[in-house]
Amino acid sequence: MTAVPFEQVVAAHGATVWRVCRAVVGPVDADDAWSETFLSALQAYPALRPGSDVRAWLVTIAHRKAIDRHRVAARQPVPLEQLPEPAPVDAGPAGDPALWEAVRSLPDKQRSAVAYRYVADLPYAEIGRILGTSEAAARRSAADGVRNLRARHPQETRP
């Protein structure tokens, strides 16, 4: 098997992993989470077994990095008023601050399950492995997450 230069891995999966990071850690920290994920992946890359699902492998690393971030954030509690402002609203649907507030308000497992299913397009068995739960539990977390997200951020049109 011919080895794949890491640059091709970044080109093929960089955008998806960035969207996963944005969904899991929020738009403000997405760039840092992406950078940590790919630097860590680069280090481990020579040991990746041929034939591995590279996208699932990257999401697994991103998941561990997000957990590390949450641990650090938990050790250094920040008063709510001092949280950095979300990125300025732009034209795209993803620039909607209310959406990110709704995503952020989900329990960690639901937010991760939604991101890995609907952004990374991973199968539930893989999501369960990443989250350390069963396939069925991963499916439930994603379903609960979607229901909560739609309740907290209803699809509608307003002036």
Partner 1 sequence: MTRHDPLAALADDPAVDLAPLRARLATDADAAGLLDVAYRTLDTPVGALLLAATEHGLVRVAYAVEDHDVVLGTLAEQVSPRVLHAPARLDAVAREVDEYFAGRRSSFDVALDLRLASGFRRRVLDHLADIAYGSTASYAAVASLAGSPAAVRAVGTACARNPLPVVLPCHRVVRADGSLGQYVGGADAKQALLVLEGAA
**Is the CB of 77 or the CB of 93 nearer to partner 1?**
93
Q: Determine if 105 is a binding residue for partner 1 (CB under 8 A).
A: no
**Is the CB of 17 or the CB of 131 nearer to partner 1?**
17
Give the DSSP letter of residue 106: S
What minimum distance in Å lies between the beta carbon of 68 and partner 1?
Answer: 16
Task: Reduce the secondary structure of 47-97 to three states and give it as a string.
Answer: HCCCCCCHHHHHHHHHHHHHHHHHHHHHHCCCCHHHCCCCCCCCCCHHHCH
Sign of CA dihedral 127, 131, 133, 139: negative
Query: Binding to partner 1 (CB under 8 A): which residues in 65-94?
Result: 90-94
Q: Determine if 52 is a binding residue for partner 1 (CB under 8 A).
A: no
Give the DSSP letter of residue 27: T
What minimum distance in Å lies between the beta carbon of 105 and partner 1?
Answer: 12
Binding mask 117-146 for partner 1 (x = CB under 8 A): -xx--------------------------x
Contact 115, 24 (CB under 8 A): yes
Contact 40, 63 (CB under 8 A): no
Chain contacts with partner 1 (rule: CB under 8 A)? 2-8, 10, 14-15, 18-19, 22-23, 31, 34-35, 38-39, 42-43, 45-46, 90-94, 96, 98-99, 102-103, 114-115, 118-119, 146, 149-150, 153-159
